[in-house]
């Protein structure tokens, strides 16, 4: 089990911006994170839309964090590109689990508990910790 490549790259991009003391253009971000420019731009759009990153146009344009690194958690970044974390698809609203008396099977309760634990851990790590 692992996070998607897009989530991995999003974490790298936010980490790159957290360590930078200045605004960076997309080419520099892509080069420093080993992410293709096209994929970096796609991820940056999502991060901007979710309020994690700010974008600036023009000759002095580029990207910078919209918040302090200590205010951005791994959970924020991963959920920006992947959506809410669920260990199993049976926990998502789109999946209509009809097993068990209450509509939930014994595994779903366990998966829900594990998912909540993982969410707490991801929330505990912020980008000021990765220096």
Of 15, 73, 6, the residue nearest 41 (C-alpha): 6
pLDDT given for residue 97 in this prediction: 60
Of 72, 58, 59, 86, the residue nearest 17 (C-alpha): 72
Bridge partners, 72 (sequence order): none
Q: Which residue has the tokens 């809410």?
A: 84
pLDDT given for residue 86 in this prediction: 73
List the chain domain ranges: 5-124
CA angle 6, 12, 17 (to 5 degrees): 125
For the chain, how big is the Rg over CA atoms in Å?
A: 17
pLDDT given for residue 99 in this prediction: 56
Residue 88 CA to its chain's centroid (Å):
18
pTM of the prediction? 0.85
Alpha-carbon distance of 107 to 72, in angstroms, equals 32
Alpha-carbon distance of 101 to 79, in angstroms, equals 31
pLDDT given for residue 34 in this prediction: 97
Fold assignment, 5-124: Arc Repressor Mutant, subunit A (1.10.10)
Mean pLDDT by 10 residues, the chain (131 residues): 90 97 95 97 98 94 96 96 79 60 68 88 94 67
Answer yes or no: are the C-beta atoms of 17 and 130 closer than 8 Å.
no
Of 2, 102, 25, 1, the residue nearest 13 (C-alpha): 25
């Amino acid at each position: 089990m692992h996070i998607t490549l897009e989530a991995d790259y999003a974490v790298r991009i936010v980490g790159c911006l957290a360590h930078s003391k200045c605004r960076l253009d997309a080419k520099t971000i892509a080069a420093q994170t080993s992410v293709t420019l096209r994929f970096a731009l796609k991820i940056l759009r999502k991060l901007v839309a979710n309020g994690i990153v700010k974008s600036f146009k023009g000759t002095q344009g580029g990207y910078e964090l919209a918040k302090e690194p200590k205010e951005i958690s791994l959970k924020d970044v991963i959920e920006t590109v992947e959506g809410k974390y669920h260990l199993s698809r049976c926990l998502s609203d789109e999946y209509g689990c009809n097993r068990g008396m209450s509509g939930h099977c014994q595994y779903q309760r366990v998966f829900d508990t594990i998912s909540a634990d993982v969410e707490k851990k991801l929330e505990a790590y912020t980008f000021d910790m990765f220096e």
